[in-house]
Amino acid sequence: MKRKIYHSKIILLEDRCVNAIKGDFNYNGSDLDILSQKMENRFRRYRDYCIKGEKSLHIENELLKQESQYRVNTVQRERKIIVSLTSFPARFEKLHLVIRSLLVQTMPPDAIILYLDDDVEELPDSLRKLEKYGLQIEWRPGRIKPHKKYYYAIKEHPDDIVVTVDDDVMYPAELIESLYKTHRRFPDCVVATRAHRILFNNHKTIRSYNNWHWADEHRNKPSLALMATGVGGVLYPPRCMNEELLNQKLFLKLSPNADDLWLKVMQIRKGTKVVLCDRKVSHKRADIQGTQEQSLNSSNVHKCVNDEYMERMIQYFHLTANDFGC
């Protein structure tokens, strides 16, 4: 669908440029330059989308071929590694691809738990068949939105390592191993594959979320100013966040649709830093085509809802730039 939309827009821009050249419209040179730039941008976006689509399709096919290798860990570890995620019906059809990517990890987790709202009744066979390989599907009451991704795993496995993932990404086979290796180096830190650097203005007020920087160059450098973004996969060591983390009433009041922000503030309240693991892992993940239209995070960013949530929490908890190491 998206490919067709891009294609139709490109054709429209082509026609407008041709008409301008023929003199059918009264375009001046500046107008033509603008149209040309728009057309170039459309071509670039269409090309990038096609490339991502081909990459995604290739990974899907490879995952389906690897079914004989699907597994979770059965060897006793000092601490279990629990992979936790949540989802909703609009994404169920392709959710099995996420799970398949987690079942072929070079360092298999001890459990992969999918937490769903308790009113979900039907699941596709493509998902249910993965239960025999170790997928656990758990239904829980309460409408806690994206917070379900971490909430029950951390609550029910307080002494274990919890790794959260999203429901629209196929993860590289080295994800958990890379997160865990960095965890061994920095056992008290939250470990992420990608993060934002939180920025403050000169007068110590926090900048808009859209103006925070990607922190790709800050690998293996723990910082309070880094905020892990959940899409890449995040490792949480036991008890790394403030005890108010599981206060449903409070997070639904302050940050109902932005779990990443709430988690960051709970880390700040505990004094826990974030560290980035190997860059290669971040670049290897692949979005599942056709699932991005329902992205809650995109809605938060475009509508500046994240700024509202962050300001609420800063005021409620009386946080300053110093608390963020800024």
| 191 & 320 share domain | yes
Calculate Rg over the CA atoms of the chain. 22
| 284 & 227 share domain | yes
Task: Please give the structure tokens belonging to residue 246.
Answer: 């599981």
First to last CA, the chain: 44
| 300 & 269 share domain | yes
Q: What is the CATH number of the domain that holds 317?
A: 3.90.550.10
| 179 & 150 share domain | yes
26 belongs to a structural domain: no
- pLDDT < 70 regions, the chain: 1-55, 290-303
205 belongs to a structural domain: yes
How many domains are there within the chain?
A: 2
240 belongs to a structural domain: yes
Report the pLDDT value the prediction gives residue 57, as an integer from 0 to 100: 74
| 40 & 97 share domain | no
Residue 130: exposed, middle, or buried by beta-carbon count in 10 A (0-12, 13-18, 19+)? Answer: buried
> Tell me: the pLDDT tens digits for 112-134?
999 999 999 899 999 999 999 99
| 164 & 105 share domain | yes
The answer to whether 47 and 39 have CB atoms below 8 angstroms apart is no
Report the pLDDT value the prediction gives residue 61, as an integer from 0 to 100: 82
The answer to whether 233 and 179 have CB atoms below 8 angstroms apart is yes
DSSP E strand stretches across 150-208: 161-164, 169-170, 190-192, 195-197
133 belongs to a structural domain: yes
| 127 & 55 share domain | no
Domain that holds residue 46: 2-21+32-65
| 185 & 261 share domain | yes
| 159 & 38 share domain | no
Residue environment code for 207-241, b if the CB has 16+ CB neighbours within 10 A, otherwise e = eebeebeebeebeeebbbbbbbbbbbbbbbbeebb
| 222 & 296 share domain | yes
CA distances to 34, 191, 221, 310 from 206, in Å: 35, 23, 22, 9
> Tell me: the pLDDT tens digits for 124-175?
999 999 999 999 999 999 899 999 999 999 999 999 999 999 999 999 999 9
Report the pLDDT value the prediction gives residue 204, as an integer from 0 to 100: 86
